[in-house]
Structure 1
Amino acid sequence: MRSFRIAAHVSSFVLAAVAALTGATAAQASDSAAATGYVALGDSYSSGVGAGSYDAGSGACKRSTKAYPALWAAAHSPSSFNFTACSGARTGDVMANQLGPLGAGTGLVSISIGGNDAGFADVMTTCVLYSESTCLNRVNEARAYVTSTLPSKLSDVYSAISTKAPAAHVVVLGYPRFYKLSGTCVAGLSENERSAINGAADLLNSTIKQNAATRGFTFGDVTSTFTGHEICSGASWLHSVNWADIGESYHPTAAGQSSGYLPVFASAA
């Protein structure tokens, strides 16, 4: 009789343990299955400025159907797709206006941010309109900002993403180098200016990569996919100065989004 009771207790314990493990596994599977939504955050390089085909409803944010987030979503059909990236966005704009769709069901997040904080639009305007020395001084100001101030701003954004979407795989996209040195351009900026701008882009990318890694995010480096397709390459995937639509200047074309950004994001995602 005593042996029967012991056996019964053991059987009950085993059944309870199996039920608990099965329940936990089911809950984990349920959570995993639920976290399949995709949220695309960031600035104009993510919204698709320069690619055309803008969603009229996005207004000044200029979200393009040819931007890499929209292209990826169309190809992979996530359970939900929220496209909040916006032209001109800085880190503070992401924090204030773009994080709303993030939640427990978010399984994938993409973001490009930091270029506007560093003032790269003003850098390019300065370099196009003023002397080489003025250009190089402005580039150095941007470099100093990237080194001293940008890391804490990136950390704030990345922390907020992790808090709001704890199950998400986050891919942080970098920026291309703008110029092919000793390329086909015979006018415009000097080689010193082009080299300095490329160097600043490299510094920006390395800073973003380092901060993304600290948070456990994946960094998507697009410099290799854009190599051979920079301004002055003869086959550019980046707009040079576009006087017809100045806002598209120094942004990826539709080919830059589909062949420069999309493969890097797709591989990282």
Structure 2
Amino acid sequence: MKKVLGLGAASLTLAVSAVAGGAAAAGGAVSAGGAAARWEGERYVALGDSFTAGPLIPKQHGTPAGCMRSDRNYPSLVAARVKARLTDVSCSGAKTTDMTASQRTPLGVNPPQLNAVTADTSLVTVGIGGNDIGFGEISIGCGLASATNPLGAPCTARYGTTIDQRIKETTPKVAAVLNGIRTRAPQAKVLVVGYLRLVPERPGCWPVVPIAQGDLAFLDGVERRLNAMLAEQAKASGATFVDAYEGGLGHDMCAASDRKWVEGIVLTSPAAPIHPNAAGMREVADRVVKALNASRDV
């Protein structure tokens, strides 16, 4: 999302300084099982925004550098486990429009992501939609508002039901992306990957995560509704939805450093603020592999 999930240039500089020199471990608890045999050598394309790309998780690689892809993001981990040939075109800051149009980043231009999906593509994962509803802007706005009313619900009062309208407007855009994948690779297995849980409903951990107590349920509800919309669109298109949110309580931004899957403003491991860390990427990779093992295609 352009300022938080996609990272603006100023926050990028600060975040790089905060985590420079860090290292992240790879791994995974879920065996690839039958998925390894099914997808070995097959072409796998990963599409998505920064929750797919993994900004600031070492080691960053790929072009353009402004997409901030990690070689320990979930597509990289999944590809290694199932032995697929990965083409990762995910990019921090991406919206649904960047699936069919070039995306400018602070360090280069990313071609339209759907260009990577071709007739020989066998597997596609896509994580998109958060930037379309402006979740980065919402998170920043809620954080600033909390400074004046940490026990109240200033963000809820500010946004009200406007976010529901944004999700409604994003729905056909996500449907169009999934249709574009089907058109380009009719035989591909497609998985829509949801967003990891960011905050608990209560009591929060202000000011470490600067969200007012009364706004936690609001922000969590926004994320729940976004994920529900993604699940509905996945089902409608014949794709598989990978639920990254479920079970995230206690692994959110307020969790202990050795348990969290998503970093807060105050970083405890190398990752971008309000983004998955290496542990979060491993968790999502586990869930993707589990979905592949459960697939009838295996």
TM range (shorter): 0.7 to 0.9
Structure-1 residue corresponding to 2:117: 102
Q: Which amino acid in structure 2 is aligned with residue 258 of structure 1?
A: R
Which residue number corresponds to residue 94 of structure 2?
89
Using a 3 Å threshold, how does the CA distance of structure 1 residues 150 and 185 change in structure 2: closer, same or farther? same
How far is the alpha carbon of 1:225 from its aligned partner? 4.2
Q: Which moved more, 1:90-99 or 1:233-242?
A: 233-242
SS of 1:117 mapped into structure 2: coil
Aligned residue for 2:286?
A: 263
Classify the secondary structure of the residue corresponding to 1:194. helix
**2:89 is the alignment partner of 1:65:** no
* Structure showing greater relative contact order (alpha-carbon pairs closer than 8 Å, 6 or more residues apart): 2
For residues 201 and 50 of structure 1, the distance between their equivalents in structure 2, rounded to whole angstroms, comes to 23
Structure 1 segments of 4+ aligned residues over 4 angstroms from their partners = 32-35, 131-134
Q: Distance in 2 between matches of 1:50 and 1:33?
A: 28
Q: Is the 8 A contact 2:204 2:216 kept in 1?
A: no
Unaligned runs of 5+ in 1: 1-31
2:179 & 2:230 partners in 1: Cα distance?
Answer: 14
Q: Which residue of 2 aligns with 1:216?
A: 238
Q: Is the 8 A contact 1:40 1:111 kept in 2?
A: yes
Asked if residue 207 in structure 1 is aligned to residue 223 in structure 2, the reply is no
Amino acid of the residue matched to residue 72 of structure 2?
K
Contact 1:171 1:218 in 2 (8 A): yes
Partner of 1:24: none
Residues 60-119 of structure 1, C-alpha deviations (whole Å, 9 max, x = no match) = 1011011000111122222x3210000000000012210112122111000100000000
**1:95/1:57 CA distance change after superposition, 3 Å:** closer
Name the structure 2 match of 1:144. Answer: 165
1-structure distance, mates of 2:40, 2:145? 53
Larger relative helix fraction: 1
Residue identity in the other structure for 1:175: Y
SS in 2 for 1:197: helix
Give yes or no for contact 1:179–1:233 (8 Å, CA) kept in 2.
Answer: no
TM-score by length of 2: 0.72
Aligned residues: 234
**Helix, strand or coil at the partner of 2:70:** coil
What do you get for the CA RMSD once the two structures are aligned?
Answer: 2.5
Equivalent pair of 1:107/1:167 in contact (CA under 8 Å): yes
Distance 1:33 1:219 in 2: 18
Preserved contact between residue 154 and residue 215 of structure 2 (Cα < 8 Å) = no
Aligned match of 1:113: 128
| Percent identity for Structure 1 against Structure 2 | 30
Q: Judge which range, 107-116 or 225-234, deviates more.
A: 225-234
Give me the whole-angstrom Cα distance separating, in 1, the residues matched to 2:70 and 2:118: 24
